[in-house]
Amino acid sequence: MTFPIRQIGLSLVALLMVLSGCATTGAHQAPYSAQKRMETLAPWASGPGKLVVIEVPAANNAISTAMAAGSLKMGGSSLAADQIVQLLRSGSVGTVAVIGESDAMNAATVQAALRQLQGTAPKDKTTLVLVGEHADTDSLKAVAASTGVKLVFAR
């Protein structure tokens, strides 16, 4: 049985792409520590009103997490984003905190929630706290300001 050179070449390229994707899945950020993130929220826990913590799930590999975050940034939604919107609209809590294993996924979830809130102001000035390391804070602050939500970044 003979294979054309072109077919073998394409098969090798496909195999290389799959293997390179698998090799990058271990490249995660610093280990996630829920306890450290909860300690970061201590000032808001003792503040006025109730503190509600939303933990945003991340996929078990970096590629899937990046794809899910990209989907949220492109207009998608998630259960966590819907919960954030519901809490902000209810006015029943003082602070909503967002934590999770992937900072990129957390930021994309907050962006999706804030996008849903545009045009409808929350009932009161609930504080939204995004915990973790975030690079693109300016765009999130702009969206939050347009919705009337006080957005705070905590590390």
CB 99 within 8 Å of CB 106: yes
pLDDT at site 28: 46
Coil vs helix vs strand at 136: coil
Distance CA 135, CA 107 (A): 9
Name residue 78's amino acid. S
pLDDT at site 35: 76
Distance CA 148, CA 150 (A): 7
Task: Tell me which of 3.30.40, 2.40.160, 1.20.120, 3.40.50 is the CATH number of domain 28-154.
Answer: 3.40.50
> Does 69 have pLDDT greater than 60?
yes
Instruction: For residue 95, report the phi and psi dihedrals to the nearest 5 degrees.
Output: -140, 135
Residue-range domain boundaries for the chain: 28-154
The whole-model pTM stands at: 0.75
Pairing mode of beta strands 95-100, 150-154 = unpaired
Percent of the chain whose predicted confidence (pLDDT) is above 70: 76
Coil vs helix vs strand at 152: strand
> Does 20 have pLDDT greater than 80?
no
The predicted model gives 63-82 an average pLDDT of 89
Distance CA 71, CA 80 (A): 14
